[in-house]
Amino acid sequence: NRILLVNGPNLNLLGTREPEIYGSDTLDDVVGLVERTAGGLGFEVRAVQSNHEGVLVDAIHDARSDCDAIVINPGAFTHTSVALRDALTGVRLPFGEVHISNVHAREPFRHHSYLSDVASFVIAGAGVQGYAFAVQRLVAVAQG
Ligand code: DQA
C-alpha cells in the first residue's frame, strides 16, 4: 500500500515563500505530515518535489507499477500543464488535487485547473492540513 506525494514548482520554498499566503510550514513538515497520516492508515509514502515538469511526469509514470493513489499539489503547473493531466489520466490512479491557498480567492489565472475535472477531489484553502485530508480521502477511495 503506497501513496505518491507530488509537489510541483516552488513548493521547495515552503516556509519562506510568501508565508502570508502559504504559511510557515516547510516542505519537510508537509512530507512528515503526509507520512504520519498515511502510516496511521497502513500506507507508505514516496515523496517527490520538482521544479521541472518532465520530472513530475516521469514520477507519475513510475507510480503506475507500485502506488495505489496520488496526492498532488502541482503548483503553477495546475494552470498550464496538459502534460501533467495526461500523465495522471494515463496511469489511471486515483488522485487528489491539493492547494494550500484558496486559489479561487486569488488572481483569475489561478481559477482554472487542467486537473480538477479528472481528479477524485480538490482541496483548496485548507493550508497544509489539506494534504492530510487528501490522504485520508484517498485511502478510502483506494480501499473502495
Ligand atoms: C498552489 C497555488 C498555485 O496557484 C501556485 O502557483 C502554487 C501553489 C497552492 O498550493 O496554493 O505554487 O498550488
Local confidence pLDDT in tens for the 144 residues of the chain: 999 999 999 999 999 999 999 999 999 999 999 999 999 999 999 999 999 999 999 999 999 999 999 999 999 999 999 999 999 999 999 999 999 999 999 999 999 999 999 999 999 999 999 999 999 999 999 888
- The count of domains in the chain is 1
Distance CA 87, CA 112 (A): 18
Name the pTM for this structure.
Answer: 0.98
Q: Is 99 a catalytic residue?
A: yes
Q: Which atom of ligand 1 is nearest to the CA of 10?
A: 12
ipTM attached to this prediction: 0.99
Question: Distances in Å between the alpha carbon of 64 and those of 4, 60, 70, 83, 90?
Answer: 10, 7, 10, 16, 9
CATH number of the domain encompassing residue 10: 3.40.50.9100
Structural domain containing residue 118? 2-142
What are the cell numbers at 137?
A: 480521502
Determine the residue of 110, 123, 129 to mutate for testing ligand 1's pocket, defined as the one with the most ligand atoms within 8 A of the Cβ atom: 110
